[in-house]
Structure 1
């Protein structure tokens, strides 16, 4: 169930609950993630883990996120996403001016952070092209997907939809979440999701048991075990 060429993400966040939630969300989304509570020993972690991207909280004990941004920039070419409760414009500009690729203000949805991370990696040419979940292989960049070795004849929208569900495998995602992540907006006819999911299911189930399930009143879940 691991994606091919899984990007590595280092999360530096002092709040344990938040750090654990981010790491778990990234793992579910197909990344390889590790967490640190502060900048202690970050140099060794950067050298050993070799992250493709670093998520830096600004308000950290000891060296703050701005100081660590300089450390990351000096030692790696990793992407950097700053995260903080501060919403002042000058803080955001400072982060971007000193080398951050993006800036997310707390509170935020984990899906938003994951999407921002993926966008930064994509701009840097480090986003994974292929994702494997059970007997399902999805390569959105190449525009192809297979199940049990058989090619799936998917539309571009169906491929994006399948990729999103695979990235969120094991989690139930709502119609609004799907609309936002696949179509790019959060207010539209939810029947759009049902129509495309119905077509996608038919194509998937032509080569194996059902893997996209409906959680009535909640949304949809992709499970590799059917």
Structure 2
């Protein structure tokens, strides 16, 4: 089973997460500060890290890029910080997801499953997310076997979201990669998202595939 590192200076939270994860079948190790967290990452090479931001000695945000540069490790921030700025900063630095305390254990487990699966989503030159198939070599998108005709910007946005299914991709990340800069006016992106939704979702009785994280960015819906 996957090995999960829980990093939190609150013993009660560590105990709760430890028990929740073990019941779900994960192997679990703990750390209560930044130094022991990075030692555990280096020595144990965990499959996933649940990281609190309020750590003694060093802010957890400083650890995000250090952990995120390990492509085989999924990183979920689990923090009491509710501000949009903290969420955007963590996601821009490479976190796979951001869960706010107090959290629902089942939702946390679902987000962890999505983050772990994300590592295996891209295979060769083909991306498959649900009933969407994206052929990177031929720039073709199909849904339920039917080709979907997209503009270049719509295709680029969809591809970036599909590379990280279930993960929030921030406005800044999308704008920098696709438009070449983090333009503070996100109207261009919103127009592309609106048109993309019309093409890949309708008719869709089960809800939006491209989900909006208000003030932060977008995520591509992924089964949990």
Please, what TM-score do these two structures have when normalized by structure 1? 0.51
For residues 101 and 79 of structure 1, the distance between their equivalents in structure 2, rounded to whole angstroms, comes to 6
Deviations 1:89-144 (A, max 9, x none): 11111110000000001111111111111111112239xxxxxxxxxxxxxxxxxx
Structure 2 residue 52 is matched with structure 1 residue 52: no
Instruction: Report deviation, 1:75.
Output: 5.2
**1:1-226 equivalent positions in 2, closer than 5 A:** 6-74=1-69, 77-125=72-120
For residues 54 and 37 of structure 1, the distance between their equivalents in structure 2, rounded to whole angstroms, comes to 13
In structure 1, the gaps of 5 or more residues are: 1-5, 127-183, 185-226
Instruction: Report deviation, 1:71.
Output: 2.2
SS of 1:113's partner is helix
For residues 125 and 26 of structure 1, the distance between their equivalents in structure 2, rounded to whole angstroms, comes to 21
Native 8 Å contact 1:10 1:54 kept in 2: yes
For residues 94 and 37 of structure 1, the distance between their equivalents in structure 2, rounded to whole angstroms, comes to 22
Instruction: Report deviation, 1:80.
Output: 0.5
Q: Which has the higher contact order (CA 8 A, sep 6+)?
A: 1
For residues 91 and 42 of structure 1, the distance between their equivalents in structure 2, rounded to whole angstroms, comes to 20
Q: How many residue pairs are counted as aligned between the two chains?
A: 122
Native 8 Å contact 1:58 1:65 kept in 2: yes
Native 8 Å contact 2:68 2:95 kept in 1: no
Instruction: Report deviation, 1:45.
Output: 1.2
Q: Which residue of 2 aligns with 1:3?
A: none
Instruction: Report deviation, 1:74.
Output: 4.1
What's the C-alpha RMSD, in Å, of the aligned pairs? 1.8
In structure 2, the gaps of 5 or more residues are: 122-205, 207-224
Q: Which runs of 4+ in 1 moved over 4 A?
A: none
